[in-house]
């Protein structure tokens, strides 16, 4: 997968952007907010204009932040050092250089705490499947990219995925440094981890929250439910009713303990 932007620094800052990406907002912003502007074919030349410096800085920073986000500090600094030059944006026609029937997935370690999964020619079923596997460790995502916490569990899942030749009936081609995601091949994504995550999801639903980070709500709801179902409050009721409340109390207690362990691990 190539970079979205190619940067050249000459008498002006020249950016080449792949037309595969959604550029409607960028083009609309350029057309609306710059008067000193030349438009030719698929290129936009924005002249440096002190009278319109605020919008010029917004455009420049949005382009520069792409490189910062992708850990390309050299290009990021080059842009900021040339902040008084004209900007030429060329939109290049996107050319497919891969099998249209395959899904291309790149695993890239961004730091010791996170990694990125990016998709070329993404298929929604494959994207949703992979997103579901990493559900509780997702830090950020859009339709072509998922950023995930880098930990033992996510390494296990990534290791298994990198050995899959197909997902949901689609051929999958991976690009990754396998050393970053190596783990025992005996581990099964479909087994222990999936069951564990299902238990976490069920426990969150029991306490009426959607994420582990709503910990104060979880504690409050746990106290309410534990008090409601505590066996001592139902000693005078028929034996069948007592058993039902005992089971409910046990489920509440076990669910809370599971989430407590998971929350400590996350923290």
Q: Do residue 68 and residue 24 come from a single domain?
A: yes
pLDDT in tens, 165-189: 888 888 888 888 878 887 544 445 4
* 8 Å CB contact between 105 and 174: yes
Contacts of 93 (CB under 8 A, 6+ apart): 19, 42
Position 192 in a domain:
no
Domain count, the chain: 3
Q: Do residue 21 and residue 82 come from a single domain?
A: yes
Position 25 in a domain:
yes
- The range of the structural domain enclosing residue 114 comes to 102-187
Residue 95 pLDDT grade (very low, low, confident, very high; cuts 50, 70, 90): low
> For 168, how many CA atoms within 13 A lie in the half-sphere containing its CB?
12
Looking at 162, 187, 212, which one is the last position of a domain? 187
Q: Do residue 64 and residue 114 come from a single domain?
A: no
Looking at 62, 92, 122, which one is the last position of a domain? 92
Q: What are phi and psi of 51, to 5 degrees?
A: -75, -15
pTM over 0.95: no
β-sheet with 13-18: strand ranges across: 5-9, 13-18, 87-92, 43-46, 37-40
Q: Do residue 175 and residue 211 come from a single domain?
A: no
Looking at 92, 121, 149, which one is the last position of a domain? 92
pLDDT in tens, 120-166: 876 888 888 888 888 778 888 888 889 999 988 888 888 888 888 88
Q: Do residue 83 and residue 126 come from a single domain?
A: no
Residue 13 pLDDT grade (very low, low, confident, very high; cuts 50, 70, 90): very high
Asked if the model's pLDDT at residue 41 lies above 60, the reply is yes
Q: Do residue 80 and residue 29 come from a single domain?
A: yes
């Amino acid at each position: 997968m190539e970079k979205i932007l190619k940067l050249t620094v000459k008498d002006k800052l020249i950016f080449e952007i792949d037309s595969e990406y959604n550029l409607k907002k960028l083009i609309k912003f350029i057309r609306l907010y710059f008067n000193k502007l030349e438009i030719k074919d698929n290129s936009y030349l924005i002249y440096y204009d002190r009278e319109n410096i605020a919008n010029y800085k917004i455009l420049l920073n949005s382009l520069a932040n792409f490189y910062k986000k992708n850990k390309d500090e050299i290009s990021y600094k080059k842009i900021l050092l040339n902040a008084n030059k004209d900007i030429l944006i060329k939109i290049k026609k996107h050319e497919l250089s891969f099998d249209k029937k395959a899904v291309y997935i790149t695993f890239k370690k961004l730091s010791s705490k996170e990694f990125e999964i990016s998709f070329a020619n993404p298929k929604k079923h494959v994207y949703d499947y992979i997103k579901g596997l990493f559900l509780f460790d997702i830090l950020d995502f859009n339709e072509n990219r998922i950023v995930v916490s880098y930990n033992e569990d996510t390494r296990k899942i990534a290791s298994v995925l990198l050995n899959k030749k197909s997902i949901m009936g689609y051929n999958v081609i991976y690009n990754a440094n396998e050393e970053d995601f190596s783990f025992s091949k005996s581990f099964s994504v479909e087994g222990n981890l999936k069951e564990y995550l299902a238990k976490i999801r069920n426990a969150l639903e029991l306490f009426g929250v959607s994420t582990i980070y709503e910990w104060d709500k979880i504690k409050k709801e746990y106290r309410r439910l534990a008090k409601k179902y505590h066996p001592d409050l139902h000693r005078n009721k028929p034996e069948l009713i007592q058993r039902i409340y005992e089971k409910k109390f046990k489920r509440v207690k076990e669910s809370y303990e599971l989430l407590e362990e998971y929350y400590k691990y996350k923290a």
